[in-house]
Structure 1
Amino acid sequence: MGFFTELQDHSEVKLSILEKYTIPWMRKIILNRFGPRRCLLIDGFAGKGIYDNGKKGSPLIMIEAAMDFYNQSVQNKWSEPGIFIFLNEWDPENQKSLISNIERLGFETMDNNLFSSSDYKTITIVVENKTFEEFLTDILKGIKSGNSLIPSFCFVDPFGFSSTPFRLFKKYLENENSELLINFIYEHTNRFIRHPNEKIRDQISDHMGLVSLDQLSEKVANLSSIERKQIIIETYTSNILNETEAIYVRHFDIKKNGKTKMILFHVTKNINGLKLMKETMWKHDETGQYVYNDKEQMVQLDFDTILSNDKEAHIKLLSKQIFNNYTGLKNISIEEIEAFTLVESIYPITNFTRPALKILEEKGVINNFKGRSKAKSYPPGTLMDFS
């Protein structure tokens, strides 16, 4: 299939976000967990594993991340992590290539679709050849009544909107510690949202979790491209938050030739998951817009772009937002301020929250600190008053 011949720049950003998130997620889940230290990585549209130009695809990114984390655990004398990796590729020829690429990493067939390695004894790989709906449904069917799936991270990178019905995500997110990274194929969704074919409109409705597409179609009919995108993002985000058990949603816009091609949606119930993903996405766009635009990579930065990358300006803006939110309040914890930064601002916590508080302390608008031993430090448990 032509799709797998070469990895394009805009798609490489998507996989870079996946790669930089996976090991920190495993570390957070496994090292901070009581009881069995296990996790599950799921890739619903795995492909061949390697593009024809030699660049890694999502399944090999997951497997190599698991191998790296296993090695870290051994070196640090941590318990060996139990990592299960479930991969699905519906095309038989692509699945054969995927299996070959897994075997090149030193994993051998234990059973028909089960792979393991003597060097990585607690990593288990399963490779399926099903539709995404069959694949994820079968995983969820395996959970005994009253139990929950082990902590899991599911990467969903489809070719279009017809194979990712919203009800699957709703069912998946009923499980504790379940996270999604969804590649929302915005270009096709936007193009076909008013399509005359009822079947296509129904597929988009199922994809977005709508009873009917008519209301959304009418709402975006005469809007500009920017306004249309905003309404579609807001609709999908709202459905996730209102119809599933997810608590936090963060998106990242990926453009090709200046136009939005896809939008990554990260969905989680855990504020630590939001913290990790926000920091990961910020590294890919430090303007605060959470956008990758391959067109902008080809032109010289203008003054506005340089200004938007000015970290000090960002920190000053965050300090104002924090102060405006807590003016006149007493005994506000550092943890509450960090949660505000994560949920209500565009900024990650690391390298932003504490520098912003230092600005406020220098201005004398926060005071009466409790739980710290030196000025301009904000260890866990620190309390402060805002004047």
Structure 2
Amino acid sequence: MDTDSFFDEQRDQSATKSRIVAKYLPTWAKVIIPSAKKWNSKIAYADLFCGRGRYKNGQASTPLLVLEKAIAEPDMCEMLVTIFNDKNPKYTQALRENINSLPGINKLKNRPIVLNMEFGQRIVSELEKNKITLYPTFYFIDPFGYKGLSISLIASFLKGWGCECLIFFNYNRINMDFEKPAAFAEYMNSLFGTERANDLRQKIQNLSADERESTIMDAICEALKEVGGSHVQEFAFKKKNSTRTSHYLVFVSKHQKGLSIMKDIMAKESSIFEQGVPSYEYSPDPIQLSLFSLLAPPLDDLENMLLDDFAGQTLTMLEIYEQHHVDKPYLEKNYKEALRQLEKQGKITVNPPANQRPKRKGEITFADKVQVTFPSHKPK
């Protein structure tokens, strides 16, 4: 897509991305700020492919949505440092003008920094110059392709305390470029690491489209975990009139709390739910797709997993959720529902039992501190 025409009108995919970023940043800030205050530190947001800030029809894009959230929060007004970068000078000039005209912008103690640089290693030096690397930082990386996006760069963004990344991968282009001449090998090697990229080239031969997609995305997530992102969550964007994937948002965190918050936000943007479990997919035609279409009902699977994984143990509901949800699609409310069903079936012992717990909206509650005892052997 021509990058100039991209900002003519906001597409649903872009609106979904922007909502996810704008919802996550203030929630992340509320978690980080108490510790940042103790260390007398600021917090930061870095958008490294920022664009113009507005579409031609006047709709705000991610930079302005983020600044509006910051303006509305007193602590963020005081502590947040924002840095926006784009290599297109027309975009950065437009963004500066849009920022200057944003109502309440003068409430921010730290004036937004706007850079006009090619994405690459130099951007790290510029972040260091502006002291961004000293602060807990949420990075949004949304390139039009993937040139310049390397695992070593992402590693440098993740190394500080409280640092997290949300990265938009053009899966369609990455997938196609595996078949292109050797000139593209350098980009793939930078993105995956040379050893992993060579391994992928062998693995994906003769795979089906779905198997190939799963293999490539597993490799991306493995690479991110190796460079410090212990908690990774994907969100897929499907093509119009197709079940094929065009892009992925990949969230990278070092703490399960950040993962839990992002899963809740991404869940609300999902096009498909099965038994209340989100697909973590956006589709213009959701009736055509379902992550679960060929699988067993996901909540039933969760019940069986809990009986197997916690056999003979006694834990609180919150302990069960925090120990189990990483790398799985389930939300906290899914765990509560699965445990309610297991309790009804007499397959677990719960303290206090259902008849001693309050109801909310006609449903028996399952509070975080409720204790669950699993049998040593899975009930039949």
Q: Deviation at 1:16?
A: 2.2
2:16 and 2:80 mapped to 1: Cα distance?
Answer: 25
Instruction: Mark the runs of 5 or more structure 2 residues left unpaired by the alignment.
Output: 358-363, 376-380
SS in 2 for 1:131: coil
SS in 2 for 1:56: coil
Contact 1:194 1:201 in 2 (8 A): no
Q: Deviation at 1:63?
A: 0.8
2:136 and 2:353 mapped to 1: Cα distance?
Answer: 34
Q: Deviation at 1:159?
A: 1.2
What letter corresponds to residue 84 of structure 2 in structure 1? L
Encode CA deviations 1:160-213: one digit per residue, 9 max, x unaligned: 1112122111112111111000001111111111211x3322012212233473
1:212 and 1:332 mapped to 2: Cα distance?
Answer: 39
Are 1:20 and 2:23 an aligned pair?
yes
1:123 and 1:149 mapped to 2: Cα distance?
Answer: 15
2:246 and 2:143 mapped to 1: Cα distance?
Answer: 13
Q: CA RMSD in A?
A: 2.9
Matching residue of 2:53 = 49
Matching residue of 1:139 = 127
What letter corresponds to residue 137 of structure 1 in structure 2? S
Matching residue of 2:336 = 354
Cα 1:10–1:270 change in 2 (3 A) is: same
SS in 1 for 2:194: coil
Q: Deviation at 1:344?
A: 4.8
Q: Deviation at 1:135?
A: 2.2
2:264 and 2:150 mapped to 1: Cα distance?
Answer: 29
Are 1:2 and 2:5 an aligned pair?
yes
1:216 and 1:368 mapped to 2: Cα distance?
Answer: 46
More off after superposition, 162-171 vs 367-376: 367-376
1:1-387 matches, within 5 Å, as 1-31=4-34, 34-35=37-38, 36=40, 38-70=42-74, 81-106=78-103, 117-118=105-106, 120-133=107-120, 134-140=122-128, 149-196=134-181, 198-211=182-195, 213-242=197-226, 244-257=227-240, 258=242, 259-285=244-270, 286-287=272-273, 288-294=278-284, 296-297=285-286, 301=287, 315-329=299-313, 331-349=314-332, 351-367=333-349, 369=351, 374-375=356-357, 378-387=366-375
Q: Deviation at 1:219?
A: 1.8
Contact 1:44 1:136 in 2 (8 A): no
TM-score (ref. length: structure 2): 0.84
Q: Deviation at 1:323?
A: 2.4
Cα 1:121–1:289 change in 2 (3 A) is: closer
Matching residue of 1:76 = none
Instruction: Mark the runs of 5 or more structure 1 residues left unpaired by the alignment.
Output: 74-78, 108-116
What letter corresponds to residue 195 of structure 1 in structure 2? K
Contact 2:141 2:166 in 1 (8 A): yes
Q: Deviation at 1:229?
A: 0.7
